[in-house]
Structures are given as structure tokens and as C-alpha cells.
Amino acid sequence: MKPGKSLLTHTAVFVLGAALIWVMRPAGPAPSGGEESVESTLRNSSRNNVSGSVGEESRTSSTRSRRNVAGVKADGQLVPGDFPEGRLSRIIRTGDPLERQAALIEMVSEMSPDQFASMADQFRSMEHFGNSRGEFEIILRGWAKADPLGALEYAAKHPDSRETSATIISAWAGNDPAAAEQWARENFKGEGANPFLAAVIRGVAVTDLAQASRLVETMPSSRERGEAIDAITRALFVDGVAAALEYPATILDPELRAGFIDNIARRLASKDPIKAADWLASNPDADVQNRTARAVGEALARQDPAQAATWLRKLSPAAQAEAARGIIPRMSSGDIAGTAEWVTSLNGIPNYDRVVEEFVWSCDQRAPEQSAAWIQGVANEEQRTRLYHRMLGEWSRRDAAAVKNWIANNQVPESVIRRFGR
């Protein structure tokens, strides 16, 4: 990558981060409860704070001059209800990501609540340079700050409503967690886990890990709870690796605790495989080890296959097969014969058939004869026959004559002979 492009990429990411910081900053004190509904309270609050910092005396003359465009008054304020389509068109046509995002941030910071729908419609209808999702999120998060209920009403009318609503709720929860949580609980009418609550947790985790933890404990096991666990895990790592590693001990629910250990170990493995491997091996829960051993073993093997093979023996017997499945592809890529010898040494561990199957697939294209021969090592007859059909079927598409010749010289199930050997 050329130096100029690298600088531009990192700077653009910085600007997007600045955008999210702006749209997440508190707009003022949270509305009081009383007898008023959350919707009416929020709408009144957003209308009373619509202008934000627009028209402040601290703005420079150069900034004022840039805002002298369609839909903008001479003093720099946007005309309420009059969306400046031309301004957004010019922003989107800006080729420099840094300049484009900076201009979009400035524009969003001046929008009134009744202008966001038109802005979102125009943005969605236009062609964009590259992936525009991050820039659309700037609009959504700005809208969530100004009028979250209006933003959610808009999101519900579009095909990507789940992703769009999640972004809005997450941004709203960062500003007013109580109101966002109340809306999430009142507006979910389905069964199972509440996806709105998962979005609330993503927003809350940034500022209040304790509250995020309390909320995730109320969710049933589900994809949504997995998303919430991931959000909390990200926030934990921002506080440091030590904070992340200590966190699971605070969780009383065994299943939820296992979910956090899995997420933390996987994220740590991408940064420090040795530390992740040692941490997982130190956990006395065999089921927890089994759940995560493959991912950690794979990360460690990318760094040092021999070290990964030694580490595997530190795990409980029930987790060793999963760890081996993560190690084998990397190990066999450099030494098929050595890997075969190592796989043989693992014979007798629980779920050994899965280890053999992993080895078969790790070398099925580079050494198909050896790969097919190893299928005989699968003890379960049904699994062994199924693996013969799958592996030989793929090999046959590449070289049917070689498969027929191999079958003629090896003992295989009759169903395999009927399919490939005649």
C-alpha cells in the first residue's frame, strides 16, 4: 500500500469514530418518568432540543460561508422542513473519504428531526463510493439523538429494518438507556429472545458494563444473547485484557459464563494465542474447554504447530479432539506424514473419529490416496461409509479413473464399490 493511501484509510476511520462519538454524546438530562408515556416524553424532549449547537457565536466565518447552500439560511442555520438535497449530493460525490465523512458529520450535526427522513431516503437512493453502511450509520445515529422514535418508525418501513433498528436503538441507549430499554421491552411482541434488548445492551455496554451484564442475564440462550455477549466482550477488552479475563468469574449462570469464556478466548486468541491457550487450559470445566478448544488450537497452530500439539495435552480428554481439529489443517499443510504420525498418537481419546475425519479432509486434494486410506481409521461404520462417499465423490470429479483404481486395490463398503468401482 502506498503511504498516501494508508494515511487516508486510517484518517477516514478516525473521522468515522469521531462521528459516532458526536452522535452518542448526551443531549441533556434524561426525561422524568411521571405519568407521561415514554413516546410523548421523548418527542417533547427532541423538539425542545432540536437546534443543538446550530447558530452558536463560536462558529467561524469560514464555516458559515460553507453552509451558504440550498436549504440553509444566511446565518448558517438549516431551514426547518426544507431538506438541502443539493448539499448531500455534493457530499456524496466527494471522492476523498476524509472530506466526505467530515462534511457529512457537519451536516448531520445541524439537522432538525423533521429533515432526517428525507435525508435518509436520498442517501439510500444514491450510488456511493465503496461500502456506504458506515456513513449511513452516521445519519441513523444522529437521528437517534434528535428523535429516536421517528427514526424507529422510519426503520420499520424498510427491508433492512432489523439492522437499521438495532443501530438506532444502540445509539439511543448510549444517550438514554432507561428510555431505550423501556421501548425495547414494550415493543417486542414476538417469542424468544428480544432483539431490541440486544441492541440496548450494545449501546449500554460502552458506558455501563454492570447494567449491560444485568440485562444480558435476563435473556434466554439465543443468537441475540450471543450478540449481546459479543458487545460486552468488546467493551471488556477496551478496559484491558486483565479486566476481560477476570469478568467470567462474576457470572453466576454457568451457561452464560461459558458463553463469555468462549467469546473472550476467541478474541484473545486473535491477539495473543499463547495467553489464550494457557487461560483456556487453566479452566477446570471440560465442557467449556471443549466449546472453545478448536478455535484456540487453530490460532496457536498458525503461530507454532508443534507448540499447539504440546498444549493439547494440557486439556481435558473431552476437549482434546476439538483442539486437534483446529491444529491439523495448519500442521498438515507443512508435513502430511508428520501429522499422520501425530494423529495416530491421539488414538483412544474421546471423539477420535472426528480427529481422523479432520485429517482426511486436510490432505484430500494433495494426497488423495493417503487421505482415502485413512478413512478406514474411523471406528463408527455409518460415519466411515458416509465419509467414503463424500471424499471419493469429490476425488472422482477430479479423477474418476484414479478412484476406480484405488477402490480395486482396497477394501471398502459394497455401496462404495457399486457407486465408484464399476
DSSP per residue, 172-198: HHHH-HHHHHHHHHHH--SSSS-HHHH
What's the pLDDT at 133?
A: 85
Model confidence at 4, in pLDDT bands (50, 70, 90)? very low
What's the pLDDT at 353?
A: 97
For residues 337-363, give the mean pLDDT: 97
Q: What is the pLDDT of residues 358-369, one digit of tens each?
A: 999 999 999 999
* Contact status, residue 335 vs residue 342, Cβ threshold 8 Å: no
What is the rounded CA–CA span in Å between residue 322 and residue 319?
Answer: 6
What's the pLDDT at 140?
A: 94
Q: What is the pLDDT of residues 21-33, one digit of tens each?
A: 344 444 433 333 3
What is the rounded CA–CA span in Å between residue 155 and residue 170?
Answer: 13
Instruction: From 352, 344, 295, 342, select the one nearest 320 (Cα to Cα).
Output: 352
What is the rounded CA–CA span in Å between residue 206 and residue 201?
Answer: 9
What's the pLDDT at 74?
A: 42
How many residues can be counted in the chain? 422
* Contact status, residue 136 vs residue 124, Cβ threshold 8 Å: yes
Cell numbers found for residue 384: 466411515
165 sits in which H/E element:
helix 161-175
Residue ranges of domains in the chain: 364-422
pTM of the model: 0.73
- Output the average pLDDT for the chain: 83
Among 9-13, 51-55, 255-259, which is the least confidently predicted range?
51-55
Q: What is the pLDDT of residues 254-305, one digit of tens each?
A: 999 999 999 999 999 999 999 999 999 999 999 999 999 999 999 999 999 9
Q: Helices 317-334 & 305-312, crossing angle to 10 degrees?
A: 160
Among 41-45, 87-91, 216-220, which is the least confidently predicted range?
41-45
Model confidence at 42, in pLDDT bands (50, 70, 90)? very low
The most confident of the ranges 44-58, 78-92, 269-283 is 269-283
**How many CB atoms lie under 10 A from the CB of residue 378?**
21
Among 83-87, 159-163, 189-193, which is the least confidently predicted range?
83-87
What's the pLDDT at 83?
A: 57
Instruction: From 321, 250, 326, select the one nearest 286 (Cα to Cα).
Output: 321
**H helices within 240-380, ranges in order?**
241-246, 254-269, 273-281, 286-303, 305-312, 317-334, 336-345, 352-362, 368-374
Hey, is 162 helix, strand or coil? helix
* Contact status, residue 238 vs residue 213, Cβ threshold 8 Å: no
Per-residue pLDDT at 142 exceeds 80: yes
Which of the pair, 9 or 94, is modelled with greater confidence? 94
